[in-house]
Amino acid sequence: MELHKPADYNTSENTKNNIYGVLPYVAPEILRGQNYTKAADIYSFGIIMYEVFSGLPPYYDVNHDSNLVIKICLGLRPKFNIKVPQLIVHLIKRCLDANPLNRPTAEEVKSILTQCDYEIEAKGDTELTKQIKEADEFNNNLQHNNVSSNSLSYESHSGVKIYISKLLNFNNLPEPKNSDDYYEQNDNIISKEFLESFTN
């Protein structure tokens, strides 16, 4: 899908040390020059899940430059502007963990999503269905109060031209880490306070 390398990528001497990708989808360790791994693909998948649930491209409102790369390495992740079931938020957070060893495997992601699908289809009174109902009620209340929640009429930052794979060349990046309260947040990927610390 060209999210973390071009479709015609090969391992020739000319390209093997270059980093290609669509910046918001590239795992922090790859931005620092490590080799592509399945765990890096899981990170990309976590960003895709965020985009599907939020309806917004990741980091659409900031410039895609070295400042964003540094912030991602320091724990910045896109934040939901709507309520999402906690089980889904927790899975996305695991996929976006700064430590590749903490990310789930593809088989584990498949198993969790299959179980979620089964619970939704069964229409039973499960934890997931309760969370979906709670999220729906909360989000409907946002819309009734004319609060912008999930709008497709967002405005991209002027530094965001298009989400395409390109050469990413950054130096002296910090060691990737999660935000200090990454796993303390139950209803979002990162806290509002942590997000605001990057914008102040």
- CATH number, domain of 190, equals 1.10.510
Number of domains in the chain: 1
- Environment class of residue 9 by beta-carbon count within 10 Å: exposed (0-12), middle (13-18) or buried (19+)? middle
Give domain status of residue 127, yes or no: yes
pLDDT in tens, the chain (200 residues): 445 555 555 554 445 567 788 899 999 999 998 988 999 999 999 999 999 999 889 998 888 889 999 999 999 999 998 889 999 999 999 999 999 999 999 999 999 999 888 888 887 788 888 888 888 888 888 766 654 444 444 555 555 556 677 778 888 899 999 988 888 878 888 888 888 887 66
Question: Is 14 part of a structural domain of the chain?
Answer: no
pTM of the complete model: 0.83
Q: What is the DSSP string of 39-55?
A: HHHHHHHHHHHHHHHHS
Residue 167 belongs to some domain of the structure? yes
Q: Is residue 159 part of a domain?
A: yes
